[in-house]
Amino acid sequence: MNDVLARRAVWRRMLVVLLPVLVLCGFVSVRATARHERVLIEDQAAARRLVTHLLTPDNELDVPVEPGTDVLRIVVHAYRRGMLGLGPHRVLGELGPAGALGPNDGHFDVSAPGPTSRVVPEDHELSVGDPVAFNVYVREATVRSLTLKLISVSDADGVLVRLYRRQAVDGVDAVQSPARLGEVKRERLARRAGELDFADLEMSDRSTLVDARWRRVAPIQGEGRRTTPLVIALAPREPRTEPQAVAAAELDGVSPSSVVAYHRATLSRPVIVRAGESPLVIKVHARRPVSPSDPSPATVDLIAEMDGERAGISRAEARVSRSSVDWYDASGIDVVPTERATFYVVVPANARAALHPSEAELDLSLFELDPRAPPEPLRASGPAAPSIDSTAATRSSPAFIFRLPTNAHEFVPGAHGTLHVAPGVAVPRTSESSHLAVAHVQRPVAAPTLRRDGRLFVTADRTFSLRARGEPLAVPLRFYSTSGPSEVLITVDGDRPKRRAGIATTLTRPRRIRVDGDARATFVVGDDLTPGEHTVTVRASDGVWVHLPWTRGAPRMTTWVSGDFDP
C-alpha cells in the first residue's frame, strides 16, 4: 500500500514539473497553426485554398499537353518578397519550343494587377497581387509538353502560376449544358477554370466555360525540374460600383478594361517626382472624383512646383466629362472618375516636381517616358497612304512605362487605389477640333526642287529650322515618292528635343510615316519645347520629296489649320 502511494506521489510531482512545458509547447503550436491558417480565418469561408507554382525570370516550368486538350488557361499573380507595388505589373514570357503551337506565336505580354485584400499567401513575408488569366490554344501543338518561361516582370520578384486545361465536349452537350447548370454549379465551374465569379465573366467567356470540361494541371516534375509550390488563399471579388449604362454604339471595339493605379493628390499632399542624373518626362493622367449624379463637365487643373536650378511654378487645366465606363476598384465608394486629362511634366536632372490641384482632390496616374522608345507612327492621308496600326505598335513597344511617385509611401490607405478603365472608348473632347498655329519654314535655296500640283517640293532627306513660342505648332507635310513605298523619320533637335521644365499639354516625339506615292500628314511640335530656334529633320530614302509651308523671310506662324491631330 505504501509503495502505491509513493508511486502516485512521484507521478504527481512529475506532472507538476511537466505541466508548464506542455502548456508552452501547446501555445507555440497554436501560434504556428494560427500563422499558417490566418488566411482562412481572415477571409472565413469565402476564401479558397489554392496551390500555385513559383516562377522567377529566366526560369521555366514544363506544362503537359494531354491528349484531347484544345486550350491551356494560364493564371499568374505577380509577387514580391516585401511590399509589392500597386501595379499594373507587365509580365513577359514565352511558351516553347519555337513552332510547337503551329501558327500561334508562343510569346505573351499581360498586365498583372497589384495586391488587394483578395489574395493572402501562407508565406507572410510575400506580397501577392490579384490574378490575371490568358488562354493558349494548343489544339495544333506538335509536342506533348510545353516550356513556360518567364522573361521579365516589372517591379516584382516573379509570378505565381496556376494551370488549367480545357477539353471540349460534344455539340449536343454544349447546347444543353447551360440550361442544366444551376447557379452553384456555374460558380464551381468558373472557379475550376481559374475564375472565382461566374457573374463577372463576359457572355462569350461564360459560354466557353459551360461548353467545356476544365481540369487543373500540374507542371511536370522530374530530374532537374523541381517546382516550388506555394499555397495562397483567394477570396471572391468585393461588390463594386458598376459603370453606368453605355449605348451599343459606344461599345463597338471596346477592349477589356485594364487596371490603373492612382494616387489622390491634394494641395497639402502633393505627388512628388524626383529626377536623378538624367531629366524625366512624365505623362500624367489626371481624373477628378465626382458625384455620379452630376452631369456637368468638371475642371481638371494641375499645378507643378519645380525646385532646383530651374525652379518655378507652371499650371494647366482641361474640361472633361464624367466617365460612363470607368469605375473605382473598391466597394462603398460614392464617387466616379471623370475622363482622363493628359498632361506632360518635364523634370530637369536632379530636380523635384510637386504635382497637386489648386483645390479639392485629383487622382493622378504617372507614366515615365522611356528614352529608348522607338518613334511613334504618324497618321497619313492620301490616295495610296498605307494604314498603320498605331495601337498595336504602342502595345508592342510602349513609350511610357507606369511608375510610382517618389513619395508613394506617404499615401495612406484611402489616398491611393486602382480603377478600371476601358481603353477602347474614345475620350470625349471639349471641342470639335484643335486649332494650332502653323509653322512656316525657310526653303533651302540649294535643294533640288520638283513642282507638283502647283506646289514646290524639295528632296526629303534634310533639316529645316522653325521657331517655337511656347504653344503647340502644326507642321503640315506633303510627301511624294517616286521610288515606291518608303519610310520617313521625323525628329526635332537631332532627336534630343530641347525641352523646358514644367507642364505641357503636347509632347514632341519622333515620328515615322509610310509613304507610297502621294501622302499628307501633320507633325505637331509640342509646347514642351523651349521658346526659340529648333530644327526639324526629315530622313528618307532617295526618291522621296517633301513640301512644307514655305516662307521667304524668317520662320513665322499663322493660325489657319484645325483638325484632329495625333497627340
Whole-angstrom distance, CA of residue 219 vs CA of residue 147 = 10
Q: What percent of the chain has pLDDT over 90?
A: 27
pLDDT: which is higher, 283 or 427: 283
Whole-angstrom distance, CA of residue 166 vs CA of residue 98 = 22
Q: Quick one: cell of 393?
A: 505598335
Q: Quick one: cell of 480?
A: 511624294
CB contact at 8 A, 303 and 357: yes
The predicted pLDDT at position 104 comes to 60
Domain contains 478: yes
- Residue 547, domain CATH: 2.60.120
- Model confidence at 215: pLDDT above 90: no
Whole-angstrom distance, CA of residue 159 vs CA of residue 87 = 13
> In degrees rounded to 5, what are phi and psi of residue 253?
85, 10
Mean of pLDDT values over 429-440? 63
- Residue 541's SS3 state is coil
Domain contains 380: no
513 and 475, same domain (yes or no): yes
254 and 336, same domain (yes or no): yes
What domain range includes position 16? 2-42
Of the candidates 135, 145, 185, 178, the residue with the CA atom closest to the CA atom of residue 60: 145
The predicted pLDDT at position 248 comes to 34
The predicted pLDDT at position 529 comes to 94
Domain contains 385: no
pTM for the model: 0.55
553 and 465, same domain (yes or no): yes
pLDDT tier at 283, thresholds 50, 70, 90: very high
- Model confidence at 78: pLDDT above 90: yes
Question: Structurally, how many domains does the chain consist of?
Answer: 4
Mark which of 234, 259, 286 sits at the end of a domain.
234
The predicted pLDDT at position 98 comes to 73
Domain contains 127: yes
pLDDT tier at 353, thresholds 50, 70, 90: very high
Mean of pLDDT values over 423-428? 48
pLDDT: which is higher, 330 or 270: 270
98 and 158, same domain (yes or no): yes
| Mean pLDDT for all residues in the chain | 76
- Model confidence at 336: pLDDT above 50: yes
Mark which of 234, 262, 285 sits at the end of a domain.
234
The predicted pLDDT at position 22 comes to 57
The predicted pLDDT at position 36 comes to 36
318 and 281, same domain (yes or no): yes
23 and 106, same domain (yes or no): no
Domain contains 207: yes
Q: CB within 8 A of 265, min separation 6: which ones?
A: 271, 355, 356, 357, 361, 362, 363, 364
Q: Quick one: cell of 318?
A: 482641361
State the Cα torsion 258-263-267-268 to the nearest 10°: 170
> In degrees rounded to 5, what are phi and psi of residue 23?
-65, -40
140 and 157, same domain (yes or no): yes
pLDDT: which is higher, 13 or 501: 501
Query: What are the pLDDT digits (tens) for 156-187?
Result: 999 999 988 876 544 334 334 444 445 445 55
The predicted pLDDT at position 545 comes to 92
The residue behind cell 482562412 is 40
Mean of pLDDT values over 114-137? 82
Mean of pLDDT values over 423-447? 66
Mean of pLDDT values over 53-70? 87
Domain contains 98: yes
37 and 58, same domain (yes or no): no
Domain contains 241: no
Domain contains 400: yes
State the Cα torsion 19-25-27-28 to the nearest 10°: 160
Task: Give Cα 318 distance to the centre of its chain.
Answer: 23
- Model confidence at 330: pLDDT above 50: yes
pLDDT tier at 150, thresholds 50, 70, 90: very high
230 and 267, same domain (yes or no): no
89 and 167, same domain (yes or no): yes
Q: How far apart are the first and last CA of the chain?
A: 102
The predicted pLDDT at position 226 comes to 75
Mark which of 184, 201, 234 sits at the end of a domain.
234
Query: What are the pLDDT digits (tens) for 519-562?
Result: 888 999 999 999 999 999 999 988 899 999 888 655 454 544 44
95 and 23, same domain (yes or no): no
Handedness of CA 9, 14, 17, 19 (dihedral sign): negative
257 and 331, same domain (yes or no): yes
pLDDT tier at 434, thresholds 50, 70, 90: low
Whole-angstrom distance, CA of residue 112 vs CA of residue 90 = 6
- Model confidence at 313: pLDDT above 80: yes
pLDDT tier at 34, thresholds 50, 70, 90: very low
